[in-house]
């Protein structure tokens, strides 16, 4: 049973546009929600993360919006650039449980076209 | 500060063989986790080691095993390789401290395993 559902599977955005990737989770015990960016041939790199005690976190062009009641969170990439073309994964974890296990969404392949 | 280092980066094995992959975490990090990444299943948690003890294990058969050494370096082993074990194996490290920042998990670039 997939505990983190991510959509869309792929996304094409014009340069300068806004990229939006959505995730939904089922386990209410999750309390740490990171986003990872992965380029071909590379490992996932942490982009931004949020905890459920805040509804939004912004770092540069990247913003996470979090809706605890709906059990949903999303990544917004403002002013998308061709260099942002990569696969993005949302994830969730329960660090307080003593296990640092990340449960990942299936990923979104983002293509930013000039 | 050096990142998570994995060796080897690429390897080809034959069905039935075994393989050992190595991971050196970021200096000072005490937790090492392993993930398998495939196009069909995505990123799946294999296991986590902390203080040389396995803390959690994902839903993988017993052919997948690992260990952690006193210097936090870790190895994972897959025995009796099957074609379906072809994947990118990712190692991740974390300080695993009591503060939220200690939870940040950093990944290496992975070891590409092809089973033929």
| Residues A9 and A61 sit within 8 Å (Cβ to Cβ) | no
**pLDDT band at residue A63 under the 50/70/90 scheme:** very high
B4 contacts A101? CB cut-off 8 A: no
Q: What is the mean pLDDT of residues A84-109?
A: 86
**Contacts of residue A89 in chain B, CB cutoff 8 Å?**
42-43
**Given the structure tokens 């000072």, which residue do they identify?**
B28
Does B96 reach chain A within 8 Å, measured CB to CB?
yes
Task: Please give the residue that has the higher pLDDT: either B18 or B102.
Answer: B18
Whether B96 sits inside 8 A of A100 (CB atoms) is: yes
Contacts of B4 in chain A (CB under 8 A): 43
Q: What region, left, alpha or beta, does residue B80 occupy, with left being phi > 0 and alpha being psi -120 to 50 degrees?
A: left
Q: What is the pLDDT of residue B34?
A: 97
Mean pLDDT of A66-77: 96
- With beta carbons less than 8 A apart as the criterion, state whether A2 and A16 touch: no
The residues, ordered by sequence, that sit 6+ positions from A67 with a Cβ below 8 Å of its Cβ are A55, A73
Q: In chain A, whose CA is at the least distance from the CA of B47?
A: A101
Concatenating the DSSP letter of every residue in chain A gives --SEEEE-SEEEEETTS-EEEEEEE--TT--BEEEEEE-TTS--EEEEEE-TT-SEEEETTEEEEEETTTTEEEEEESS--GGG-EEEEEEEB-GGGT----EE---EEEEEE-
Query: Encoding tokens for residue B54?
Result: 């396995």
Q: Which two tokens stand for residue A4?
A: 């983190």
Nearest CA in chain A to B97: A95
Q: What whole-number distance in Å separates Cα of residue A30 and Cα of residue A52?
A: 9
- pLDDT tens, position by position, A11-42: 999 999 999 999 999 998 888 899 999 999 89
pLDDT of residue A2: 61
Task: Please tell me the number of Cα atoms within 13 Å of A37 on its side-chain side.
Answer: 14
Query: Which among B7, B30, B22 is positioned nearest to B93, based on CA atoms?
Result: B30
Per-residue pLDDT band for A51 (boundaries 50, 70, 90) equals confident
Which of helix, strand or coil describes residue B95? coil
Question: What confidence score (pLDDT) does residue A95 get?
Answer: 65
Q: Is B2 exposed, middle or buried (0-12, 13-18, 19+ CB in 10 A)?
A: exposed
Which is higher by pLDDT, A31 or B7? B7
Q: Cis omega before residue B8 (within 30°)?
A: yes
Which residues of A have a CB under 8 Å from any CB of B?
Answer: 32, 34, 36, 41-46, 49, 51, 89, 91, 93, 95, 98-107
Tell me the mean pLDDT in the region B87-94.
95
pLDDT per position as a tens digit, B58-86:
999 999 999 999 999 999 999 999 999 99
CA distance B11 to chain A (A): 14
- Residue with the bigger pLDDT between A102 and A18: it is A18
Within an 8 Å CB–CB cutoff, is residue B38 touching chain A? no
Asked whether the predicted pLDDT for residue A93 surpasses 90, the reply is no
How many inter-chain contacts (A to B, CB under 8 Å) are there? 63
Maximum distance among all alpha carbons in chain B? 44
* CB contact (8 A) between residue A105 and residue B94: no
Is residue A63 within 8 A of residue A78, CB to CB? The reply is yes
Searching chain B, which residue's CA lies closest to the CA of residue A106? Answer: B42
């Amino acid at each position: 049973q997939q505990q983190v559902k991510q959509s869309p599977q792929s996304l094409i955005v014009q340069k300068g546009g806004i990229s939006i990737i959505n995730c939904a989770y089922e386990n209410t015990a999750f309390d740490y929600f990171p986003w990872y960016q992965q380029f071909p041939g590379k490992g996932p790199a942490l982009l931004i993360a949020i905890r459920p005690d805040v509804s939004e976190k912004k770092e540069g062009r990247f913003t996470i919006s979090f809706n605890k009641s709906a059990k949903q969170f999303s990544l917004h990439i403002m002013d998308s650039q061709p260099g942002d073309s990569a696969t993005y994964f949302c994830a969730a974890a329960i660090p307080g449980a003593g296990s640092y296990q990340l449960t990942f969404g299936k990923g979104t392949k983002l293509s930013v076209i000039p | 500060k050096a990142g998570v280092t994995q060796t080897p980066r690429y390897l080809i094995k034959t069905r039935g063989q075994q393989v050992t992959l190595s991971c050196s975490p970021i200096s000072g990090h005490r937790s090492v986790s392993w993930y398998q990444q495939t196009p069909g299943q995505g990123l799946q948690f294999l296991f986590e080691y902390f203080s040389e003890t396995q803390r959690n294990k994902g839903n993988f058969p017993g052919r997948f095993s690992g260990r952690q050494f006193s210097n936090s370096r870790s190895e994972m082993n897959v025995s009796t390789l099957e074609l379906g074990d072809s994947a990118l194996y990712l190692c991740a490290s974390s300080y695993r401290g009591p503060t939220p920042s200690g939870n940040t998990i950093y990944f290496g670039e992975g070891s590409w395993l092809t089973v033929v």
